Structure 1
């Protein structure tokens, strides 16, 4: 029993510290949101209503082996072409490369490999091929539409709100268990509340992501060459991510089921006590 009491005391302290820390962060955010510039002395908030709010996006990089920027000596036409895994594009690349009527500039991408002493050890490897160029990247976007901005605010602070609620419920739960290590109706209700909040979090976050995707679906980045009129190389694309967290959803469902099971056991215990 002493071991159980010690563990519960530790869990109570952890949940209490988490709750207080969440309160402090929330207060910090509200203070900086009320400051027009989002800066107070040497302190500055990375997300602010004047700067924008974070969105998770999927990044796709275009990494060509070689790039030929060309300009016709005859009709002043210009353009660029890069190597690709597609045969049709590579055939066009080779035609441009062999065309003597074009004035060409080559841009060749290469790589270097360094060891811990920052010495180039590329010669020790046969090759390096990029297999996947997809990764998650955070961007900060500041829309003019007030509804869109309100969705971004709620999405950015949703995690903190859920953390504040869950840590508060855990703090009250462990505090009650410290005084009386027995389940009752209040404890089962707290467990169910935690479970419902963990279910609501990924669902609401998924809805916010869907709304965000209705406002923009893609951001394209181009590298423009001054010597070529209206020509740019698309080297990076960003697309919003439809976020979902099955682990949190499963944990929330498990806690709801556990709460109902404990509630059923509590009712059976009461019936047995009344029968006796």
Structure 2
């Protein structure tokens, strides 16, 4: 069931970015509907919805051209967050469709609701780490650290979701056999194996779509990295507030 978790593993967080695309967040990013903020140890830069620039609370005078660059940079960041949220919702829907399909195959509607609830709870838990009171907060993270932390969480979640799915599937098949005259371990094993093959085939189909979507997300991050370089050329003071490029 590892692929089921991979299918659902696109979270709105730097952890997602690091796993799907090897990037590092060099400074903390905070986002609201009104502005984005980039925080370093003792200073922070703010780009408002009106594309105004403040550094540590002090307004910075910018030209029309510089303001246009600020706008493009802010909009690119907003776009990536929206793209990632859409991808998250799409994968939640895919997991729901898959589990409903398996339940229908076993003639047991709702049999895997607990599995879906676990997946949704995982999403909610991870999102809650970064979304606080209408604000997204993404701390600076190194790829090596993020990769290790994600792997540990991935393994724990994978085990819990896999056990829940297999336990529920076993219970549904066993109860159906009992109603039809008694347990047959050989037949139960065959049906479980057939079910695993069916799920794997469906997930392989989803994986192809997911690969294309992740590639698009990586492309968006590459564009942001390039846009950030343009920003630094236009406003050199912002080099100290880099997100994806070395300061």
TM range (shorter): under 0.3
Task: For CA contacts below 8 A with separation 6 or more, give which structure has more relative contact order.
Answer: 2
TM-score, length of structure 1 as denominator length: 0.23
Larger Rg: 1
TM-score, length of structure 2 as denominator length: 0.25
Q: Which has the higher strand share?
A: 1
